[in-house]
Amino acid sequence: MGLIHKKLFILFALSIYILLWMLVGFFKRSINSQYYQNHILNSNISLVLEYISKLNINLLLIDPIVLDYLFIRRLSLQKRLITFGISNESIPFLDPLFSIQNFSITLSTNIKKKSIDHIFIEYNQQIIHLAILHKQNSYFLIHKNTAQLPIDIKLSYGDTLRILEPFESVLIENKFSFPRNVSHFLWLYNTSEFIECNQNLANHMENKYSLYQNKSQLNLTILPMRTIVNALNNLEKHHWLAGGTLLGWYRHCGLIPYTQDMDFGLFAEEYDDSIRNYFLGNPTIYLWGTLGLVNDSLEFRLFTGSYTFDLFWAYREGNYRWYGYQINRTKYKRKIPLIRRLCSCDLFGYRFSVPCSPINYLNNEYGYEKWKIPLEKNYTWINVKYNSIWNDISWMYAVRLYTREGKVRTDKYAIDWIANQFNYSLKTIPTFLNISSNKSVTFLPVKN
């Protein structure tokens, strides 16, 4: 009987737990529903949404201002225009709206592409803006608006060409959905302006120089590059295609066919060890080595077994930034523009981030328009300047090599990398990772 009683008690407790879980979910939905009714769905907006919801169209709330106020600041907002996204395939289902006399509907069309890009539904001076999501490879594009709008209307989508990647959403009242992770959606929005590579220049590279995309190279690099980008996006660390990788995207609309590595830039002030921890022992692309200190010339070298991928941290100094570049113990600075804004681009069907002014960046790196002539060898960076030499204390912490499993290498190869450029005997790798010790350092005997 004791065993039977225990089983009944467990079943009873499980039933109570399920009931409580369902009640909590119900109250959450009720609270959220009431919250949105009070803060966004005024009578005019609600009426328009009611009509659209009957057409079985999936509405996505993507208005960054509305999302920010509702979910981040938790404040009410009076806004004349609210933006939703709908798929291009949904447009035919909107036909019944055009017969409703009280609705004033304005279309933004692209005659060249024979597409509708934006639909503005106005009712009692309130506007529902439907931004059309045009499927493009692994993402959607929202084109620039061409319709004439009231002067007081400022668009968040339609102001320029923007990109939108698929995201998880939550449905409200069977009327519309919103991003499950609003703060991350807003973070991505800030770099959503879409710019294109120079297709004419890419054609010129093929026609004059016979520089075609290397398929075997692409197969070995795209997955690792996507792994890097997805990781940095999830960690919300701003990054961009840098150096020859940026040049490959803009000049070849791909990669430089003879390149041996890929470069990414990051803001030094955004560094934390979550980046190191993610790539330590990563099965797709692992952290092979770190050069420099967190506050000086930091560089990560990631490796797949076939290609090297470099992450360079860009340090702010006055009206420019700089990456660290090292030869043995000598440090150099590669000056780059400030990079005030980052945009999005397409590289082999995927979204990547690039400086919004790539030409300015490339002119700064290679010289004014000199980068338009492909050079496999003997090219020069015009922005590299001597910095200094690592002192003995810093040098002990400035180089760390790692195994494929994510452990600090302590073998002879790793020790020699430091010891060969060191004025003291070194038999073990210090435990500190790319930071100078706050404690006094006792050196081993001087080399004979």
pLDDT for 237-291, tens place per residue? 999 999 999 999 999 999 999 988 999 999 999 999 999 999 999 999 999 999 9
Q: Which residue spans of the chain are classified as CATH 3.30.460?
A: 34-189
Asked if pLDDT for residue 20 goes beyond 50, the answer is no
pLDDT for 378: 72
What are the Cα distances from residue 127, in Å, to 33, 123, 280, 419? 21, 6, 50, 68
* Cα dihedral 179, 180, 182, 186 in deg (nearest 10): -50
pLDDT for 376-399, tens place per residue? 777 777 999 999 999 888 888 889
Asked if pLDDT for residue 39 goes beyond 70, the answer is no
Q: What percent of the chain has pLDDT over 70?
A: 87
Q: What percent of the chain has pLDDT over 90?
A: 66
At residue 263, the 3 state secondary structure works out as: strand
Asked if pLDDT for residue 19 goes beyond 60, the answer is no
Rounded-to-integer distance, Cα 380 and Cα 370, Å: 10
Strands (E), 23-103: 60-61, 81-87
pLDDT for 394: 86
Q: Write down the architecture of domain 34-189 according to CATH.
A: 2-Layer Sandwich (3.30)
Asked if pLDDT for residue 66 goes beyond 90, the answer is yes
> Mutual orientation of helices 243-252 and 199-209 as an angle, nearest 10°?
90
Sign of the C-alpha dihedral computed for residues 404, 407, 409 and 410 taken in this order: negative
Farthest CA pair distance, the chain: 94
Asked if pLDDT for residue 77 goes beyond 80, the answer is no
pLDDT for 192-215, tens place per residue? 999 999 999 999 999 999 999 988
Q: Where are the alpha helices (H) located in 210-286, listed in sequence order?
A: 215-234, 243-252, 273-279
Strands (E), 88-125: 104-110, 115-123
What is the pTM (predicted TM-score) of this model?
0.87
Rounded-to-integer distance, Cα 275 and Cα 325, Å: 20
pLDDT for 388: 95
Asked if pLDDT for residue 183 goes beyond 70, the answer is yes
